[in-house]
Amino acid sequence: MRLRNVRGSKEAIAESPYVINNPEEYRNKWREVFNNSNPLYIEIGMGKGRFLTRLAQQNPGINYVGIEKYASVLYRALEKREKMKMDNLYFIGMDAEDIAAVFGEGEVDWIYLNFSDPWPKDRHAKRRLTSKEFFGRYDRILRKDGRIEFKTDNMDLFDFSLEQIPLTNFEITAYTKDLHNDAMNEGNVMTEYEEKFSGLGHPICKLIAERKK
């Protein structure tokens, strides 16, 4: 997702108390940002932030960080965030390629990937957030028994992910190709893209990945 440049978005992001603009400085110190030792859950490619703002409201005992590479999109999440009274949600504007510079070894408890960009050309496969290259990065930052959850309506990307993940230190412990008609849907929080594409009749796929035992 890339929105037209929103005037003032870069300035608003730079000045916001909810955006961590120097995230590398908090590597291994994220609990200081939240001033507690609660678990840390992150969403990579959060888009306009509906999923994470809802989770943060529902779960005050969990710390959340949303990561989004485009300022114009992050700004939309920030607009939502600013209307809410909660102290367990921060954002970072960055490309997740550098994620291991921002979180320490095992510092993250849970990773959400929702409706990640499909990068359909083979030569761009390494940019897919479920590629073995990205899972290698997640391997560094995720707690030993941490989890990765991935949702998409893109069947090619989902099938690619089912093939890639077993090539890494992770295994797929559950998956469905029709989330909204599956027991895995219990407690599901819809993202902006999920609402749009399920509204168009696309089935939603979901998988859970955990480290190989």
Minimum gap (Å) between residue 91 Cβ and ligand SAM: 11
What b/e sequence results for 193-212 when a residue is b if at least 16 CB atoms lie within 10 Å of its CB, and e otherwise? bbeebeeeeebbbbbbbbbe
The single residue among 26, 41, 64, 70 that binds ligand SAM, judged by CB under 6 A, is 70
**Which listed residue (87, 95, 117, 159) is catalytic?**
117
Q: Residue 109 catalytic?
A: no
What's the token pair of residue 116?
Answer: 């990640």
Of 49-68, binders to ligand SAM (CB under 6 A) are 67-68
Element (H or E) spanning 9, and its range? Answer: helix 9-15
Per CB under 6 A, which region of 16-24, 138-146, 174-182, 185-193 contacts ligand SAM? 185-193
Please say whether the beta carbons of 91 and 66 come within 8 A. yes
Kindly give, in sequence order, each residue whose CB lies less than 8 Å from that of residue 35, ignoring residues fewer than 6 positions away.
Answer: none
The single residue among 23, 191, 204, 207 that binds ligand SAM, judged by CB under 6 A, is 191
Active site amino acids: 117
List residues near ligand SAM by CB under 6 A.
1, 44-47, 67-70, 73, 95-97, 114-117, 191-194
